[in-house]
Structure 1
Amino acid sequence: MTQTAPNVPKLMTMEEYLAYDDGTDTRYELVDGELVEVPTESPENCKLAKLLMLELAKYISIVLINLKDMEIVVSGKRAKVRLPDLTVLSEEGYATLAGQRSNTITQDMPPPILVVEVVSPGQDNRDRDYRYKRTEYAARGIAEYWIIDPERQQMTLCLWVNGQYEDTIYTGDTPLASTIVPGLKLSAAQILAFGQN
């Protein structure tokens, strides 16, 4: 269930969102101008994202990998910001964040090269990850978007081609064919097992 943050304007601008601080450690996404509290993840989803981060760090500098602390400004009817489960930046993207007040990738910055979402149970979460975020991340030109779905026991690799995503669904032991991490030999079954071990 989505909860709107209390005591804030009904619709916020991007500038209001970037300056907003309620004095707590509550995480929010901005969805069409509305400040929406992001619920905590399940222990299994958190563990899966952490272990995937450690695996990616074998191929990519750890400073380029962000776990649940990177905000991405995306397009929508109104101001919109997403907080992916895992984000990988390019060297150029990392350099543009130097000296910034927040860990937010704005529209004028290079997009991440990889975003990963672990689907939580429920149709609202499924719609958000498979439909809305997929469209938003494609519009930002994010080279790869991985949707890890523990409930369906599959992983979807969305590859950005000419302005839109082309999807490949992985199940079982077939290794992922990532353009961002070409040496990665992990299969969907191995990645999904991270959340179960």
Structure 2
Amino acid sequence: MLSARDPLPARPRRVAVAGVSGVGKTTLARRIAAVAGIPHTEIDALFHGPDWTPRPAFVDDVRALVARDTWVTEWQYSSARPLLAARADLLVWLDLPFWRVTLPRVVSRTLRRRLRAEQLWNGNLEPPLHTFFTDPEHIVRWSVSTRNTYRERIRVLRPDLPVVRLRSPREVERWLTGPMKDATG
């Protein structure tokens, strides 16, 4: 496992960003894409169809994505993780303090999206706020219930896949302006 200060073993061309819901995977993936000059594909846009239904073509779309020479995307969805991990040459684990950083982020993002009626993938909107109490898969509840799953998921990855673990917003900035920039510059 690499830290925010460790040099990368090679210039990354295919990067997966891991972390619990709401931690900032998509934001970091976009920033990595900008620094590395490689395209970002938001995996949620591939997964969610209208009315939050999974798109039937999702796995085929992920296969097409990972077949490309360069990409950055979020490492999520059980059907996609193995495909992404098999082709990635770098996994970035965004492992920020949950109660102090991630939970406030996911709550504020969810509230902002709902109150502003921000359209998400394929015309979807955040569900009504009361669903936090009624839907066990509500994004905030999902984030809380799955917050400890990544340690095991990452532990069983292929041993030759470099993993950078970033544990604070400061480490994210340090890594983007240091090892990541150095590897791509």
TM-score bracket for the superposition, by shorter chain length:
0.3 to 0.5
Which of the pair is proportionally richer in strand? 1
More helix by share: 2
- Name the TM-score, length of structure 2 as normaliser: 0.33
- The TM-score, its normalising length taken from structure 1, stands at 0.31
Higher RCO structure (Cα 8 Å, ≥6 apart): 2
